[in-house]
Structure formats: structure tokens, C-alpha cells
Amino acid sequence: MGYLVIEKKIIPFFLFPILFFILALVIYLLLFKIEQHIKYFIYKNVIFTAKIFSVLLAYASLNYFLVKELSNILVKNKLSNTEEMPLATLFYIATFFIPIFYIFYGLKIRDRIFFCIGLLSLGLSFETIRYYYFLPTEYVLLLTGIILFIIVYFSIQKIKNNTKGITFKEDKSLNPMTFDLIKAILINTHVNASTAIIQKSPIEFGGGDFSGGGSGESF
């Protein structure tokens, strides 16, 4: 496929990212189907890792920064930061829509993969915009804070009563006494270290005294 795009130019380069997105989607759906079969349980970790890469590939394939910069490198189609490439609007929308979709979809199906990757990719999306369009730091922080507040608020409302997956409820797999035990050990260690008293021996060595262990200066 890369040969057809770069050398033969049979497929326009701006369609190449869309094909990669479709490929990532197909890979994820296949892995999801495979994961349902009990006979593939031994490959659970491999499937989990492959799903992460497919989700990352879906975002990266439509990220505006990656599409434009790879276009400049591979196709030698040099575009300045102010010049737009074909389907630029689509890639701009996808750069932000995909992370937001990941976050809310991850909350809906209680999947940490989508939720965590969504948060990470949303931050990268803001950096993508800042790379091409200068925004003062205070505006970026304000806008990011507002968006994060909205996401956190709706996330809390969504997951606060969940009994599994992403939840605020206590993890039943953890021993409730574990944290109390660790806290007690740390407190005792700190107290013992701070109140330790150095005891001096009542017997002084040297000098040839009655209690000494050596001879004096004279015979």
C-alpha cells in the first residue's frame, strides 16, 4: 500500500490516512471477536496489547499533525504551517472528535483502554493545534481546565454507582487492612527513627584507667 501511494501514486496521499483508520478499526473488531472465544484465553495479554495499538493507530492515522508532517516527508509535498492540505477540515475534526469519543465510550463500556488513551490523545490534540496556531499559555490552561472539569463532572456522574470496571467504589479484591498496616509500619518506622537514643558505654577505653582496656603513656 505504501508503495502504491509513494512510488506509483495510484492512491492520493490524503486518502492514505483514511485507509489506515479503516485498517485499525478492522483490527480492533477482529480482536474483539477473537477475545470472546474461550479457546483464545491463553492469548489474553497478546490480544490486550494488540487492542491498545489498534486504538492508538486509529487516532494517529487521522491526527492532523501526523498526516501533514508525514505528507511533507514521504511525498515531498512541502506545505508551510499556514497552508492547508486536502481534507484538512476532516482531519481537524477527527483530531478532537476521536479522543472525546474514546473517553465517553470508555466510560460507557467501562473500558480503561479507551478512557486512558482518550485522555492522553486529547492532550496531544491540543498540542497539535498549538503547533500551528499560537495561543497564549493562560488561554490554553483556561480552556483545558474547563474541558477537563466538564469531562470529570460527567464522568463522576456516570461511574459513581458502577460496581465493576471504572468506579469510585472500593476494590473488593484488595485487603481492607492493607493500607492500615502500611500506615502503621510507616508511622512506627518514623517514630523509632526520630526518637532513637544513642547509649554510651559506661566503660571508657584507653588511657590506662581502671576501667580502660589499654596501657598508659608511661611504663
List the chain residues with pLDDT less than 50: 219
Distance CA 94, CA 109 (A): 21
Tell whether pTM > 0.85.
no
* The three grid cell numbers given for residue 215, joined into one nine-digit string: 596501657
Residue 192 lies in a domain: no
In the prediction, which pLDDT does 170 show?
60
Buried b (16+ CB within 10 A) or exposed e, 173-211: eeeeeeeeeeeeeeeeeeeeeeeeeeeeeeeeeeeeeee
* The three grid cell numbers given for residue 73, joined into one nine-digit string: 516527508
Distance CA 42, CA 87 (A): 43
Residue 182 lies in a domain: no
In the prediction, which pLDDT does 69 show?
79
Name the residue among 13, 10, 154, 164 with its Cα closest to residue 74: 13
In the prediction, which pLDDT does 179 show?
60
Q: Is 11 exposed, middle or buried (0-12, 13-18, 19+ CB in 10 A)?
A: middle
Residue 60 lies in a domain: yes
Range of the domain at 50: 2-134
| C-beta separation of 52 from 112 below 8 A | no
In the prediction, which pLDDT does 216 show?
53
Residue 170 lies in a domain: no
Residue 168 lies in a domain: no
The residue type at 195: T
How many structural domains comprise the chain?
1
| Radius of gyration of the chain, Cα coordinates, nearest whole angstrom | 31
Residue 156 lies in a domain: no
In the prediction, which pLDDT does 110 show?
77
The 10 Å Cβ neighbour count of residue 63 is 21
Residue 35 lies in a domain: yes
| C-beta separation of 110 from 164 below 8 A | yes
Residue 80 lies in a domain: yes
In the prediction, which pLDDT does 207 show?
54
- Taken as a whole, the chain contains a residue count of 219
In the prediction, which pLDDT does 27 show?
92
In the prediction, which pLDDT does 19 show?
86
| C-beta separation of 63 from 95 below 8 A | yes
In the prediction, which pLDDT does 173 show?
56
Sign of the C-alpha dihedral computed for residues 173, 177, 179 and 182 taken in this order: negative
